[in-house]
Amino acid sequence: MAEPESKGVLFPRELPTMSRHHPPAEVAHLVRHFWVPEWALPEGAVSRQLILGYPASSLVVQPSGVSLSGPRRRVSSQDLRGVGWAVGAQLRPAGVAALGVDPASVVDREVPWPAPDLHDGVVRDMGGRGTGTSDRHARAIGTVTAWLLRLPAPGPDALEANAIADAVERDPGITTLSALADAVHLNRRTVQRRTAAYVGMSPIAMIRRHRLQEAATRIRERPETPLVTVAHDIGYADQAHFTRDFRAVVGTAPKEYRAAHARPAAEPR
């Protein structure tokens, strides 16, 4: 099932065609969602995508190979050219554990991942002739799902990390480490150890990322809302603190981001 939300995409109107899909039930403990962009740009054109990513790692298959993209501390960008596609699985903490990777080692990095069988299968699925887009995507997601199911099963600590990540994402009232620990019925030190081991970010950094993603969505979709209201709605005590955090991660102030969205969409250059 396609997931229409564009959370984390700073300028969704400038995206290529992209769909998000809920994971099959058998890998829902490993994958938050799958995402599949496809693009065909005129010769010489470049489309720059700016992403305020989730506090998570992603396994990505492209025609050029398979890579693991770690969590990003700030906005990341990618320049798209020519004709291409990608099939990505945004991993839950247990998915990172199944891969056997230390997420701290890939923070702000994208590294090649040795999986030639996965690559060959997805390339075959995405290149199928005479089939619709949804069929190709479904086949590619099925291939990634089957590959993930062959990995070692994650242990109970990784599943606790899943619960921590879920609580941060689903409960906007959680704004402190103590509140998070209470929500998942763990002590604060355990919460810190789990996110370090399976996310690669601190609990507070995860909380801040989801708050800023929500802020960007509200500024973009409801530009008439005063910024002080946005700040208070996502749990900031004052607008100045919100503005500092937004600028530090996004690279621009909330007011400037809102103004950029008021301008016409940029043409690929």
Contact between residue 152 and residue 100 where contact means Cβ atoms under 8 Å apart: yes
Q: Are residues 164 and 46 in the same domain?
A: no
Portion of the chain with pLDDT greater than 70, in percent: 94
Q: Are residues 23 and 130 in the same domain?
A: yes
Q: Are residues 103 and 204 in the same domain?
A: no
Which segment of 51-65, 120-134, 209-223 scores lowest on mean pLDDT? 120-134
Q: Residue 3: its pLDDT value, please?
A: 41
What is the DSSP pairing of strand 17-21 with strand 58-62? Answer: unpaired
Strand partners, 49: 78
Answer whether residue 67 shows pLDDT above 60: yes
Of 92, 79, 102, 112, which Cα lies nearest the Cα of 27?
Answer: 92
Phi, psi of 246, rounded to the nearest 5 degrees = -60, -45
Q: What is the pTM of this model?
A: 0.90
Q: Domain span at residue 238?
A: 160-262
**From CA 206, how far away is CA 54, in angstroms rounded?**
8
User: How many structural domains are present in the chain?
Assistant: 2
Answer whether residue 190 shows pLDDT above 60: yes
Q: Which distant-in-sequence residues (6+ apart) come within 8 Å of 185 by Cβ?
A: none
Contact between residue 71 and residue 49 where contact means Cβ atoms under 8 Å apart: no
Q: Are residues 187 and 256 in the same domain?
A: yes
Using DSSP, how many helices (H) and how many strands (E) does the chain show?
Answer: 10, 10
Residue 268 counted as domain residue = no
